[in-house]
Structure 1
Amino acid sequence: MAPGGPTPDTGGSHCKGPPMYQLLSAKPSPYARKVRIQLAEKGIPFDLITEVPWNSDTQTPRWNPLEKLPVLICPDGSSVFESRLINEWIEARHPEPALMPADMDARFAVKRIEVICDGACDALILQLFENARPEDHRSQPWIDRQRRKVDGALRELARVVGDRGFCVGDRFTLADVATGTLLGYLKVRWPHLDWPQQYPNLAAFSERIEQRPSFAGSRPTTQVISDRVV
């Protein structure tokens, strides 16, 4: 691992062999969970480093100038950041088992779902921090706009998934990773939302995919932010 790098948490990868990478992650982060699942599905050992990027003592800026997680730290001390870029980077360097289809149309179908899911997660996080403001400083039109984005994303995902076993084609891909992590994040951070009743096919998809070892070993939990963010 990189000299002087962060100290690994207990746990992390359950893959055999010495860690190949370090992954800076936050416990509830759906973005980091996507990378954790991809690494687990490919059997790539890694050390998991838990960070709170919003806190003043975070090491995140050392590895990502945008101060965002996740960050994949390579053995040579370089870093790759932003979850979709990390996913693409891992696919290019560790192509088996493939989590992206070879067919171009299917690949773009996967990427379309990734964009939808990441956009919904972005909107959820924007709502989270807007709600952290004093009530008389919150913008209800802004909150409503983010809610519409999430509603639109879930509606489209429900249409795409239908009653199929996988999001794209007949095998597990990064589209399933993105969809499963979004739904898992909703369960942890927004348990009061009624999307399972509104979209029972997504609820069934979530229950089914959470049984995969890569999902079961990376379930999100809440995390305390000690510093003021907004």
Structure 2
Amino acid sequence: MILIGQYDSPFVRRVAVALRLYGMPYEHRPWSVFGDAEEIARYNPLRRVPTLVLDDGEALVESSAILDWLDEQAGPERALIAPSGPQRRATLKVCALATGMGDKAVSLIYEQVVHGRGTPAWVERCRTQIAGVLDALEASRGEGTWWFGERPTHADIAVGCVLRFIGEALPGVFDPARWPRLAAHGAACEAHPDFAAVVQPFHVTPPKG
């Protein structure tokens, strides 16, 4: 398999962490959506990451769809999410909140770095949405090392990857004193070897032209 995309993307990183937790080997191509758009387009017409190219040449796109396929390959006993029921729904809700928060963080970065502006109403809306999600996740986070038991799930991965991304890409947005459980969660994720193995400092290069 080939995983396309840079690890400073929380969406690429969540796939990479899952691959490592599953013990599934892959080749990594750290292509940029700006600098390597034409290369990415060979596999994904949206020119977006992550893209996972399977051994038979099929390309899977969008992190949730990729993870769904990985879960299927791992089987229900090893999958990083319950096969059905309340815990599955709870895990999917945490993932949806975390990835939605990641989307809002990316919107802020594009607004400020790519578009070279900071429309006050849009910036305030995105920051309010991010803070609202952080409040909700903080309230739902228990005291254990992981969200739903003794081992990490997709919920843990999604939250951990997005927290690191926000901390690096939007300094000052995440306040550990306001969200201490999430701060502890992020630290636990970064201390895990499968998270630590797929780290890239955040950097964005605006497109030319």
Residue 15 of structure 2 is matched in structure 1 by: 35
Q: Which protein is richer in helix relative to its size?
A: 2
Distance 1:228 1:129, change over 3 A: farther
Offset, 1:169: 4.0
Offset, 1:162: 3.3
Q: Structure 1: which 5+ residue stretches go unaligned?
A: 1-20
Structure 1 distance, partners of 2:138, 2:177, is 12
SS at structure 2 position matched to 1:210: helix
Residue 158 of structure 1 is matched in structure 2 by: 138
Residue 123 of structure 1 is matched in structure 2 by: 104
Residue 54 of structure 2 is matched in structure 1 by: 74
> TM-score when scaled to structure 1?
0.84
Residue 168 of structure 1 is matched in structure 2 by: 148
Residues 106-131 of structure 1 deviation map (CA, whole Å, 9 limit, x = unaligned): 11111111110110000001000111
Offset, 1:57: 5.0
> TM-score when scaled to structure 2?
0.92
Residue 190 of structure 1 is matched in structure 2 by: 170
Assess if the C-alpha contact under 8 Å between 1:52 and 1:58 holds in 2: no
Structure 2 distance, partners of 1:225, 1:168, is 37
Range moving further from structure 2, 191-200 or 206-215 = 191-200
Assess if the C-alpha contact under 8 Å between 2:167 and 2:174 holds in 1: no
Residue 201 of structure 2 is matched in structure 1 by: 221
Q: Structure 2: which 5+ residue stretches go unaligned?
A: none
Selected match of 1:100 from 64, 74, 81 = 81
Distance 1:194 1:23, change over 3 A: closer
Letter of the structure 2 residue corresponding to residue 223 of structure 1 = H
Residues 20-75 of structure 1 deviation map (CA, whole Å, 9 limit, x = unaligned): x1100123100000000000001111111001112365411111122210000011
Letter of the structure 2 residue corresponding to residue 62 of structure 1 = R
Identity of matched residues, %: 26
Q: CA RMSD in A?
A: 1.8
SS at structure 1 position matched to 2:83: coil
SS at structure 2 position matched to 1:52: coil
Offset, 1:103: 4.1
Structure 1 segments, 4+ long, off by >6 Å, are none
SS at structure 2 position matched to 1:195: coil
Assess if the C-alpha contact under 8 Å between 1:63 and 1:79 holds in 2: yes
Assess if the C-alpha contact under 8 Å between 2:3 and 2:50 holds in 1: yes
Residue 14 of structure 1 is matched in structure 2 by: none
SS at structure 2 position matched to 1:123: helix
Offset, 1:164: 2.8
Structure 2 distance, partners of 1:58, 1:189, is 25
Residues 83-116 of structure 1 deviation map (CA, whole Å, 9 limit, x = unaligned): 0110011001222522111341111111111110
Residue 181 of structure 1 is matched in structure 2 by: 161
Offset, 1:226: 5.2
Distance 1:220 1:196, change over 3 A: farther
The number of residue pairs the alignment matches comes to 207
Structure 2 distance, partners of 1:194, 1:83, is 24
Offset, 1:145: 0.9
Residue 146 of structure 1 is matched in structure 2 by: 126
SS at structure 1 position matched to 2:152: coil
- Name which one, 1 or 2, has greater alpha-carbon Rg: 1
